[in-house]
Structure 1
Amino acid sequence: MTRGVYGPWSDRGDRGELLPGMFLRLPAGAVVGFHTGAELHGFADLHDPAIHVIVPAGTPVPKISGVVAHEAVLPVRGTVELAGVPCAPAARCAVDLARSVRRMDALPLLDLALRSNASTAEELRDEVRRHARLRGVCQARQLVGLADPRAECRQESQLRLVLVDGGLPVPEPQLWVADEFGVARYRLDLGYRARRIGVEYDGATHLDRDRLRHDRERMNWLAARGWRMRYFTDLDLYRRPTHVVQAVRNLLLR
């Protein structure tokens, strides 16, 4: 399993089998956290093949291949057991990541932490308060305030962040539009209901012929009811974010 620790052989490399053996070589007080903790809690939006653990500051850690040890001055509270090893609570894993990864990666994982019910908004807020004065806490605090469980994919979360970082009002995720009888007909990725403005991310699934027919019917229905739509792709989101912001700003200013 790891040097000096033996167990049943498996060609799958399951973390559930590796972690208990790995912990036999780690110092007392070590807990799983960061990317690996998020994975165990069910909101692994950021994959990292390394095993991430948190150890108390000043603790000697043996060099183990594939293990990243984070020395933490902030004690881990409320440790839970997952996959047979101690793990930081979901809120701690989420906030640690929100402090340390890029903004465009941080908000999707916070949204997913809420959507998966791994953590509540209150738990995230309580945890980020405990991280006061630690590096990256300003980013984490802001993004925790933006986190929303309604986002259904990382690109929707990132598109919302691009708009907010561009100085625009926070759009409503997964906005339902009803017909004249009050029946919900279509759902938009993001939108400004009072202004009848919708913002959509078009991924690879929109290239299917049946999906294209549905999209055209939907676009015509929305346009007939005064909705103004803007559609963006991965090129816009990752290479032309200023274009995204300006396109939506122009609609809001009309």
Structure 2
Amino acid sequence: MTDLYDDAAALPRLLRGGLAAHDIRALRGAGISRSAAAWARSKGRLGRPFHATYLSGPGAADLLDRLRAALLALPPDAVFAGQTAALLYGFGVIATNDVHVAVPAGTAVPQRRGVVAHECALPFDDVCEVFGVPCLAPARCAVDLARCLPRGDALAVFDAALRAGACSADELAAEVGRHGRLRGVRQARELVSLATPLSECRQESHLRLVFHDGGLPRPRPQLAVVDEWGVERCRLDLGYEQSRVGAEYDGRSHVERWRLRHDRERHNWLEMRGWRMRYFTDHDLYQRPDRIVSVMRTTLHHPGARPHRWV
């Protein structure tokens, strides 16, 4: 799973898709039997990402190679969707080892290990070609995922899609409207109004949702803090500028010695300028979110805090 949204957005630029895809019929037409294909596989001259589909050429297969091979085993009206299409669009922040495709309702799909087919009630009137393979449009992929994922991950998908520039907030809202009363659309409709391109990672999105569910004022993600000369000195994961209260998620990188030194200097600089910082870990975020809400509410309503305008 990719937690950093900028890493997810960078993935499509790394795809090369330099291998040639073949199905077993093409190999037979070239005079290569199954036993010969098996021998070539054992020597590393052929890859077999799915049953009866093969890849040949120099180098290791990437996602695009696997998708081109998968198309050989799928019906002609199948398109990539969900987590798989999100990877190609640059907001693939939900882990999956499978290839996800969408097919019209009632379509017979060959069973392939590693391929998950989703029957769709909505028509396929928004198919895009991405790197030469067919995908549902980015807004539709994001809403489809948001309807079925846990709320925190659903918001993360929306945030990552906006940050990658795969679609706009208006396009997401319009797409939610197209889904009518399909399962999970109420969740998608609620979360699309909270989505922002400012969040940088999945945990920031989850933390912001904890604030929302706890009835806290809406914070600004990646709030820039400037010094007395107007020069930006740092950014806070979540912040309330009027109250001078900030919240940060402490992940694994924060325990590294150089990062810890930087964080302490940053904390002292903020504290000397009247900021009150609160830090939360994965244990707080996923095991005791109520404590996060309690700490932030107490901090915001402390007698020394500046009043915050609720939005």
Residue-by-residue CA offset, 1:25-73 (whole Å, 9 max, x unaligned): 3223211000101011111101201111111111121211111111111
Note closer, same or farther for the CA distance 1:202–1:74 as it changes in structure 2 (3 Å cut): same
Return the letter of the residue paired with 2:97.
Answer: P
Which runs of structure 2 are paired with 1:49-64 in the superposition (5 Å)? 49-64=97-112
Note closer, same or farther for the CA distance 1:10–1:92 as it changes in structure 2 (3 Å cut): farther
Cα distance in 2 for partners of 1:162, 1:5 equals 45
Report the equivalent of 1:84.
132
What's the secondary structure of 2:56's corresponding residue? Answer: coil
Return the letter of the residue paired with 1:171.
Answer: P
1:182 corresponds, among 218, 226, 230, to: 230
Cα distance in 2 for partners of 1:210, 1:179 equals 23
Which runs of structure 2 are paired with 1:15-26 in the superposition (5 Å)? 15-26=63-74
Return the letter of the residue paired with 2:98.
Answer: A
Percent identical among aligned pairs is 56
Return the letter of the residue paired with 1:234.
Answer: D
Q: Which runs of 5+ in 1 are unaligned?
A: none
Matched, 1:104 2:152: yes
Cα distance in 1 for partners of 2:198, 2:280 equals 19
Q: Which runs of 5+ in 2 are unaligned?
A: 1-47, 303-311
Cα distance in 1 for partners of 2:226, 2:52 equals 63
Shift of 1:122: 1.5
Which runs of structure 2 are paired with 1:159-170 in the superposition (5 Å)? 159-170=207-218
What's the secondary structure of 1:75's corresponding residue? Answer: coil
Shift of 1:241: 0.7
Higher alpha-carbon Rg: 2
> Is the deviation greater in 36-45 or in 73-82?
73-82
Would the aligned equivalents of 2:80 and 2:102 in 1 still touch at CA under 8 Å? yes
Cα distance in 2 for partners of 1:48, 1:131 equals 24
Note closer, same or farther for the CA distance 1:11–1:178 as it changes in structure 2 (3 Å cut): closer
2:176 corresponds, among 128, 138, 149, to: 128
> Is the deviation greater in 23-32 or in 159-168?
23-32
The alignment's TM-score, normalised by the length of structure 2, stands at: 0.77
**RMSD of aligned C-alpha atoms?**
1.7
Report the equivalent of 2:220.
172
Cα distance in 1 for partners of 2:95, 2:297 equals 34
Matched, 1:199 2:213: no
Report the equivalent of 1:212.
260
The alignment's TM-score, normalised by the length of structure 1, stands at: 0.94
Shift of 1:124: 1.0
Matched, 1:144 2:195: no
What's the secondary structure of 1:155's corresponding residue? Answer: helix
Report the equivalent of 2:15.
none
- Equivalent residue pairs, number: 254
Cα distance in 2 for partners of 1:177, 1:16 equals 41
